[in-house]
Structure 1
Amino acid sequence: MTRVEICLDDLAGAVLAETCGADRIELCAALGVGGTTPSIGTVEAVLGSVRSLGVQVLVRQREGDFVYSRAEIAAMCADIVTVRELHPPAGVTVGFVIGALTPYNTIDVRVMHELLDACGGAPVTFHKAFDQTQDLFASLETLMTLGVQRVLTAGGTSAAVDGQAALADLVRRAGEELVVMAGGGVRASNVVELVGRTGIKEVHLRASGWTPSASAHRNAEFGYDLGRRLVTSAEVIAELKAALRRGKAEA
């Protein structure tokens, strides 16, 4: 069965994802800007709420490019070490989602070595900075040499369904050495086609829906409360899991 990772930045979403049968979550903050490192309090709260779920913690100092200063690298390493000092339940595996590029859009091997050293053997995913690199296949070789376990990619496009040819090639080249996980526009409506045409064994999605604001009074002038916010949707996860089951039964 295809493994499902849910990307989320809401505390309730972690429990919901586990209840709905997700295999793993990517825990972030600020998904509206592509995701940044969640607070240590958020990580601790999630680890205290789930029992048998993989938790990959995004470590990204800020929005924008993936070229980091020495101070930013030090801060990311410190965040990783702090998360590693937490004590998850026995059934929960904690890992990290990291990535760094040079100004020329190649993987910054030196920075990756520093981040990986901080991870200390925890499971590592290289995030979608991968899709910004100049040569996906050279980048894949770099990640395998570094010992990264997984890469999140849409095959160099914004949506995985548009990068199916590249994804299939990446899967073939990675073999059993590294997991190629498809992310970007993955939906119940396209996941069976995506898996069937690429050989992908893991998919990643936001699985979001709108919920009304809890505030009884808001002032839209300030832009903080627009009357609704995005949260993890049980319906979206259930639809995706059902599509995967149907696809497996029909294969």
Structure 2
Amino acid sequence: MTRHLEICAASLPSALAARAGGAHRIELCQNLEQGGITPSYGLIRETLAQLSIPVFVLIRPRPGGFVYSADELAIMRADVEMCRELGCAGVVLGALDAAGRVDLAACRGLIELAGPMAVTFHRAFDACPDQVLALEDIIGLGCQRVLTSGGQPTATAGQTQLAALVAQAAGRILIMPGAGITAANIQALANQTGAREFHTSAKRRLPADPADGLFQAERLETDAASVAELVALLQVARTL
């Protein structure tokens, strides 16, 4: 079984580190500290120019929940069109209604605009109270994968549900565990869930530069060595 690692990168240096470490795909975003939002046009364009591995772009206009206004959906549609025009390999999106079900109309409109790009339904899925129904809805929309922690704060905590989702999917869609995946748990998750793709940021904290004075700040960036370790561990995880 071939297993792939997707790295969530919130900057060009992180995207380059992911490539250097052997990641199979990038999910590009910004503001990762609040769960990620859509990155800027410039970041998308430069990342595409410098990477040959697939780049998927997060379509999320703000932090917080996934019930969107008409104005927010208009922004999301424009961002999907931008990604298609720039030549992105895929987009990562999701929208819910007030009851916590997949907003089929909103998602269908975004997916239609995506055209040839692949579509991942993101962790809005983890806010759905009925994941069995939500998964069938997402399959019906034509998405290629679901990023999920099994409805729990971490993939490790949700591994039983993740395994159930993999079984329910039965090859119709990829279930991609994410949230808290590290070198310490990725093999166990691979072995216990049967998932083929995994998502993490593999980030390390860079200290603030005192030379920046009033504007100094710590940064979180993907670490190439951590990515390489995760890729290596995935390749030797046993097959269920």
- Fold match by TM threshold 0.5: yes
Counterpart in 1 of 2:54?
54
Shift of 1:67: 0.7
**Residue ranges of structure 2 left out of the alignment (5+ in a row):** none
Query: After the TM superposition, which residues 42-191 of structure 1 pair with which residues of structure 2 at under 5 Å, given as runs?
Result: 42-51=43-52, 53-87=53-87, 94-191=89-186
Q: State whether residues 81 and 114 of structure 2, in contact with CA within 8 Å, keep that contact through their aligned partners in structure 1.
A: yes
Counterpart in 1 of 2:36?
35
Distance 1:100 1:245 in 2: 33
Counterpart in 2 of 1:240?
230
Q: State whether residues 28 and 57 of structure 2, in contact with CA within 8 Å, keep that contact through their aligned partners in structure 1.
A: yes
Amino acid at match of 1:54: P
Counterpart in 2 of 1:12?
13
Shift of 1:214: 4.4
Q: TM-score, normalised by structure 1?
A: 0.91
Distance 2:21 2:212 in 1: 33
Q: TM-score, normalised by structure 2?
A: 0.95
Cα displacement string for residues 151-190 of structure 1 (whole angstroms, at most 9, x for unaligned residues): 0001110111111111111111111210000001111111
Distance 1:215 1:31 in 2: 23
Distance 1:174 1:42 in 2: 34
Cα displacement string for residues 40-74 of structure 1 (whole angstroms, at most 9, x for unaligned residues): 111000000012x1111000010111111111101
Q: Greater RCO between the two (CA within 8 Å, min separation 6)?
A: 2
Counterpart in 2 of 1:90?
none
**Residue ranges of structure 1 left out of the alignment (5+ in a row):** 88-92
Distance 1:153 1:12 in 2: 25
Q: State whether residues 57 and 90 of structure 2, in contact with CA within 8 Å, keep that contact through their aligned partners in structure 1.
A: yes
Q: For the aligned residues, what is the CA RMSD?
A: 1.5
Aligned identity (percent) is: 40
